[in-house]
Amino acid sequence: MLSISLSPDISRLFREITFKDKITRDPSDHITMFYLGDNIPLKKLIKMIPIIFDITCDMKPFMVSCSKITTFPKGKNGYPIIGEIKSKDLSALRDKLKKEFEKNKIKYDSTFKDYKPHVTLGYSKNKPKNTSFSKINWSINHISLYGGDESDSRFFVNFPFTLGTEKIAKLANFCDLYYKAI
C-alpha cells in the first residue's frame, strides 16, 4: 500500500469522535493513496521506489482537512465510517503518481473508479448519520510504501517531502549570515 500515516496527535483527535451506535474501531489511522493488494512481490515494490522518489523529492508539505464523518456502502464488516479528507494537493499528488504507475505498467487496485481520500475510523452494523464537527487541519510531509511477500510486515519505505531547494538555499544563507554576525 502507498499511504499517509496519521501522526499520534491527529489520531487522538479522530479517536475522540463519539458515535451513538457501537462501532468497531479501525486502528490503522492512515489515508490510502493506492492499495496494491496483499502479498505484493518485492520486485514490484522495488520498481515503484524510483517513480515515487522522483515525484516526492521536490514535493513541499501540504495541508489536508476533515470536517465530515460519513460512510461508504455496507461491506463484509458493516458500514465503513470514514472521515472525508479534503485537499487539492493530495489529489494532485495522487494524479501524478497514477499517471506514472500507468506509464510504467504498475498495477494497483482500481475497484473504486473515483479516489475518495479518507480515514477509516471504524465499522458499524447500522448506518450512522453524517456528522459535522470542528474542522481538523494538518500538514502532510511524507508518504509511505509498504508491503511485501508476507503482507505489510516485510517492506517499508518513507518518502519525505522537502522545503524545496530554493527555500533550503535561503535558509542556508540566513544561517551563514547569522553565524557571521555572532
DSSP-assigned letters across all residues of 100-163: HHHHTT-----SSSS---EEEEEEESS-PPPEEEEEEEEEE-EEEEEE-TTGGGSEEEEEE--S
List the domain range (segments joined by +) for residue 74. Answer: 2-181
Q: Which band of pLDDT confidence, cut at 50, 70 and 90, is reported for residue 172? A: low
Q: What is the pTM of this model?
A: 0.81
CATH number of the CATH domain containing 114: 3.90.1140.10
| Signed CA dihedral, 50, 101, 3, 164: sign only | positive
Q: What is the pLDDT of residue 155?
A: 80
pLDDT surpassing 90 at residue 64: yes
Q: Are 143 and 51 in contact (CB under 8 A)?
A: no
pLDDT surpassing 90 at residue 8: yes
Q: Which residue has the higher pLDDT, 24 or 130?
A: 24
pLDDT surpassing 80 at residue 163: no
Q: Which band of pLDDT confidence, cut at 50, 70 and 90, is reported for residue 117? A: very high
Residue-wise pLDDT for 23-62, tens only, equals 888 888 999 999 888 778 888 888 999 999 999 988 999 9
pLDDT surpassing 60 at residue 161: yes
Mean residue pLDDT of the chain comes to: 85
pLDDT surpassing 80 at residue 154: no
Domains held by the chain: number: 1
User: Look-up: residue for cell 451506535?
Assistant: 21
Q: What is the pLDDT of residue 167?
A: 53
